Structure 1
Amino acid sequence: MSNLEVVDLGSGGTIKFNMNDGTGESFDIKITDFKKGSILEFDWGDGRVRFELHPESDGCLLVLKEFINTLNDHTSKDLAGWHVCLDMLSALLNGSPMNFPKEEWKKWHEQYADKIEAIK
């Protein structure tokens, strides 16, 4: 099961975040901006995440923005998660789908945690 499951696609709609940690827990996330084929933005903790697609001559450009209001112990987990999710998307687009790489996530989590600690 995917971590993010769209329940109601559109501004004001809902995305369900499945923990996928064996607890069966999930929570709902509000979609704050949506334009079909170009924008998906949603609440993410005390910030938000925005995906944008921009057309280019040979395809499109994906832009991911996470608006972080407060650096905390969870920030490095989020950044590592987005990092490996983008790696997974790249692999999928190149015809080599992959499962969530937990060890790779751990590596990135440690590196992001070190960087965040250095700027706190």
Structure 2
Amino acid sequence: MSGRTDSDVRPGIAEVAETAEVDDMDDTGDMDDADDVADHAEDARRARWVATGTGVLLTLAGLAAALLRLTGSKPVVVPAAYAVGAGVCALAAVLGARGRTRRALWLLVAGTMIMALGDQFD
């Protein structure tokens, strides 16, 4: 190192930098960051739809099971567990629609586990 602060970039490094910039461009000469952003937006939209749809489906299934168990001669804890699990899944559907898909996933797991626990008392 010579200590000079005004020295130019070595020719080999400049060529590598120019090649890297050209590789990131698409056919029109624009950077393909817009495509990456569009892909991420589509993935996020799909995740929201999946979280919301799964939450609604599990909520309806839990409510139907709670109503079916309520009409039978089962302990009260069984339909209550199904109803609570359905409520947790409904909350997961709301969070999924708002974009909180990780939290929605964990709430869906918890709601399903609560319903399964209620089924064990059956």
Length-normalised TM-score, structure 2: 0.28
The structure with higher relative contact order (CA 8 Å, sep 6+) is: 2
Higher strand share: 1
Higher helix share: 2
Length-normalised TM-score, structure 1: 0.29
Q: Larger Rg: 1 or 2?
A: 2
